[in-house]
Amino acid sequence: MRILLYNPDNGVTANFMPHLWMFLLQALTPAGHEVLLIDGNTQPMSDAEIVRFVLAKGIGLVGIGAMTRMIAKAYRVADAIRAAGVPVVMGGPHVTELPEEALGRDGGPRHADAVALGEADETWPKIVADAARGALKERYVPVDAFGQERKPDLQGYPKIPWDSLDIDQFNRIPGFVRPIMEHFKVGWETFHIIPIESGRGCPYGCEFCTVTGFFGDSIRFRSNQSIVEELLLLKARARRTNGQVAVFFVDDNFAINGKRTKSLLRDIIAAKAQVSWVGQISANLLRDEELVDLIADSGGRWIFIGMESLDPANLASVNKSFNKPGEYAAVLERLARRNIYAITSFIFGLDNDTPGVAERTLSQIREWPPVLPVFGQITPFPATPLYTRLEKEGRLTRPKHWLDFAPFHMAHTPLRMTAAEVQDEVQYAWANAYSPAATRRAIDSIANEPAPYKISHLIARLFFRGIYFPRKPIGPARP
């Protein structure tokens, strides 16, 4: 049987790396089946084009995975494929929390023939086997002999054959640039950002986050050896294909267990498996000088930090008091001394926010080493504690906002701002964080660093500026 795994885009955000789930399920597919991959971010296709592709390739099963912000597109594509007579199985965090919606049991239309709930490492081979004999069940849930949800321990993690996979669609070098690089004899022809996970789960339970609900609050880790071998495989592929590779550790908090993280980084260094990598680590865990040394020595170049707010009251309101805004500057300086820079995320529209929050945030950012800030509004995702609280308080204005996806629009009533004001703050922050003046200021602040760091930072800023939407300054500059 020929299988298509499809990840939809949301029409707004251009993801800078492929989604790991597709490669993981491809590796878990039983022998005798062929798996094709399409990521809507790198291969944008209309619904009709996807259907033609499915029929032309003789696809017997389509698997669609989507987070909440992509689910409306996922449902639409699934409907078109099912109308053409091809079965669809859907999974991921959103479908796990709202399976009745995907199955049409909540009063709406049915979008999937089957749903895979939770982590599909165990259930995917069963889904494939059932589809091959025309006997798909409606629900697939990983449970033990007592009917309790079972999560994979990750010790038997499958080997993803990065050395042989066709990943050309994920090359980050635009096609029009490649001949120029070839003309000037640049030493490499491709650049891929590859997702790797070293563990799953997060114990913190931030009110707005879907991670704990999906992966659980117990941390499970892969073996150090399996991760080192995967990195060595990627390095070998890059050498063979005359390319460059970077890794994004997609763990929701890469250093949640400091002892284990240090052990992994030491093993990477000992095996000479270093590649440039990005990881997500909360600010409180970056107080550790030894950890930051190991991050630098193992190839760490960028760290994503969910700062969310400069206001402790805001952080307390979403159960993220482990963030200490007074420590942010010291953490960023600690990273910058090792030529590691931060991607810092901020959420506007929290309960204690007031108009002007964007400029207050930008004023603080200007005092720090250069960072790549990202901004968004607080969004109540289904089944999160935040969604439940706002529903009880009667503040949800778009209870099923995901079915009418509207980027950067609030789905509830903020307490101390209007929804329109929050949207203005988000736009102002993006426009002014990546203005020519802000970029010049950031590069000037690292003028004494080696040229490669300045070049990479400039490229990263230009790239981040174009991730979400065309940004122009909103209204007159604020003092």
- The DSSP line for 154-168 is STTPPPP-TTT---G
Question: Helix or strand or coil: residue 96?
Answer: helix
Residue 8: give the domain boundaries.
2-140
Domain stops at, among 120, 140, 160: 140
pTM of the entire predicted model: 0.91
203 and 338 assigned to the same domain: yes
Alpha carbon distance 155, 220 (integer Å): 9
Q: Say if 442 falls within a structural domain.
A: yes
**Angle separating helix axes 289-297 and 328-336, nearest 10 degrees:** 40
Q: What is the DSSP letter of 400?
A: T
Domain stops at, among 122, 140, 158: 140
pLDDT at position 310 is 98
Q: Say if 474 falls within a structural domain.
A: no
404 and 339 assigned to the same domain: yes
How does DSSP assign 330-380, residue by residue?
Answer: HHHHHHHTTT-EEEEEEEE--TT--TTHHHHHHHHHTTSSP-EEEEEE---
pLDDT tens, 21-58? 999 999 999 999 999 999 988 888 999 999 999 999 99
106 and 10 assigned to the same domain: yes
Contact residues for 97 (Cβ-Cβ < 8 A; gap 6+): 210, 213, 214, 382, 383
pLDDT at position 189 is 67
Query: What residues of the chain score a pLDDT lower than 50?
Result: 469-479
CATH classification of the domain holding 301: 3.80.30.20
pLDDT tens, 223-234? 999 999 999 999
310 and 459 assigned to the same domain: yes
Total structural domains within the chain: 2
Q: Say if 459 falls within a structural domain.
A: yes
89 and 211 assigned to the same domain: no
77 and 215 assigned to the same domain: no
132 and 172 assigned to the same domain: no
177 and 37 assigned to the same domain: no
Q: Say if 470 falls within a structural domain.
A: no
Alpha carbon distance 147, 1 (integer Å): 31
**What count of Cα atoms within 13 Å lies in the side-chain half-sphere of residue 247?**
27
Count of Cβ atoms closer than 10 Å to residue 194 Cβ: 24
CATH classification of the domain holding 114: 3.40.50.280
Q: Say if 349 falls within a structural domain.
A: yes
Take residue 298 and report the two structure tokens written for it: 């193992």
pLDDT at position 167 is 80
91 and 219 assigned to the same domain: no
Q: Say if 198 falls within a structural domain.
A: yes
pLDDT at position 470 is 46
Q: Say if 252 falls within a structural domain.
A: yes
Secondary element (H or E) of residue 465: helix 451-465
Take residue 385 and report the two structure tokens written for it: 């504690």
214 and 122 assigned to the same domain: no
185 and 119 assigned to the same domain: no
Question: Helix or strand or coil: residue 398?
Answer: coil
**Angle separating helix axes 71-83 and 47-56, nearest 10 degrees:** 50
Domain stops at, among 99, 121, 140: 140
CA 326 to mean position of chain CA atoms: 27
123 and 196 assigned to the same domain: no
pLDDT at position 347 is 97
Task: Report phi then psi at 408, rounded to 5.
Answer: 65, 25
Alpha carbon distance 400, 184 (integer Å): 52
Cα–Cα–Cα angle for 441, 445, 447, rounded to 5 degrees: 115
Q: Say if 110 falls within a structural domain.
A: yes
- The one-letter amino acid at 223: S
Question: Helix or strand or coil: residue 282?
Answer: coil
Alpha carbon distance 182, 330 (integer Å): 42
Task: State how far the alpha carbon of 91 is from the alpha carbons of 22, 38, 40, 69, 214, in Å.
Answer: 11, 16, 16, 14, 11
